[in-house]
Amino acid sequence: TNKNKRQMWVQFYTDEMKAASHREIELENELRLAIMNGEFELYFQPIIDLATDTIVKAEALIRWNHPEKGVINPDVFIPIAEKSELIITLGKWVISRACQVARQLCDLKHCIKISMNLSPSQVYDEDLYNYLCSCVTKYEVDPQKLEIEVTEGVLVESYTNTDLLLNKIRDYGLTVSVDDFGTGYSSLSYLKKLPIDYLKIDRSFVQDVATDDNDKAIVKAVIGMAHNLNLKVIAEGVETNEQLNFLVDNHCNSVQGYLFSKPVKLESFIDLLNDYTTTKE
Ligand code: C2E
Ligand code: MG
Ligand code: MG
Ligand code: MG
């Protein structure tokens, strides 16, 4: 009967949920241990300035070197970390390591900017600004060689504090990017109020920009709007020359994507910087 079927379904569904939340708790515990054991690593992906054809920046992207499962991508564990205080600890490690790398690259005469992703709870963490400053001081980095990436949601919610924090961070010398632009909130009013330097057009708009008229229209409009607001535009997820040509023709400022390089370990990233400079000389 229908009633029995429903009961079975409810039973199945509850078991599934229990299993899922069990896996999450397991993962959370593993994450806690992994932080203590230092199993995380920052990978770096170049961001290329189209006006000068140089690598001007690198986005730091976290990876988990799991002793059994191998390299785990952030989409798997960042959402779990964000559900607890773990994201604060992990986020602090990212900031510290990014500053250390910025210093190291500058010593190697590759004084490029390092941009790091911040989770919403990090932005709301009262400790963030002081922690950031302490890392900058410790590694003697020029704050202008650092950038933070936040998503639109962060900029819309709890507006007053975000405004204060971003202003402090920017006064200190860092730049601010809006990550995954176009996928979050429909309200654009924050763009004229908040201290922002870059919009990063989400990969979902870039993917078909060479062939899809709607994506062409959206990307053109975003670039036009950004420039009128004195913001610069970075296109994420550039994989083909056709996409690149469209972005160049439409005055996009910089690009990031597999066409140039996947995110790579620091060692490989330094090789890449050396090659890029040598081929240009
Ligand atoms: P995101 O900040 O939007 O980073 C860009 C993502 O797009 C990266 O995925 C990058 O590997 C990927 N990507 C870049 N170019 C291409 C391309 O041409 N094609 C394709 N298919 N993908 C491309 P990744 O490294 O897996 O990171 C995923 C997300 O995890 C990031 O998205 C960011 O939201 C989050 N994340 C990464 N590292 C951190 C971190 O240190 N802290 C926090 N809070 N979040 C992080
Ligand atoms: Mg990002
Ligand atoms: Mg993004
Ligand atoms: Mg993204």
Helix locations, 173-240, DSSP H: 190-193, 203-206, 213-228
pLDDT of residue 3: 67
More confident call, 7 vs 218: 218
> Ligand 1 pocket, 202 CB below 6 A?
no
- Say how far apart CA 178 and CA 180 lie, in whole Å: 7
Q: Mind listing the pLDDT tens digit for each residue in 68-82?
A: 999 999 999 999 999
> Ligand 1 pocket, 234 CB below 6 A?
no
- Say how far apart CA 177 and CA 232 lie, in whole Å: 9
Q: What is the mean pLDDT of residues 195-212?
A: 96
- Specify the 3-state DSSP secondary structure of 65: strand
Question: Residues with Cβ < 8 Å from 34, sequence gap 6 or more?
Answer: 40, 64, 66
> Ligand 1 pocket, 46 CB below 6 A?
no
Work out the pLDDT band at 163, boundaries 50, 70, 90.
confident
Q: Which atom of ligand 1 is nearest to the CA of 62?
A: 38
ipTM associated with this complex: 0.98
Rounded distance from Cα 130 to ligand 1 centre (Å): 26
Q: Mind listing the pLDDT tens digit for each residue in 83-141?
A: 999 999 999 999 999 999 999 999 999 999 999 999 999 998 889 999 999 999 999 99
pLDDT of residue 38: 96
Identify whether the C-beta of residue 218 lies closer than 8 Å to the C-beta of residue 198.
no
> Ligand 1 pocket, 12 CB below 6 A?
no
Nearest partner of 114 among 146, 148, 137, 149, judged by Cα: 146
Instruction: Go through the chain and tell me how many residues it has.
Output: 281
pLDDT of residue 130: 97
pLDDT of residue 158: 62
pLDDT of residue 94: 98
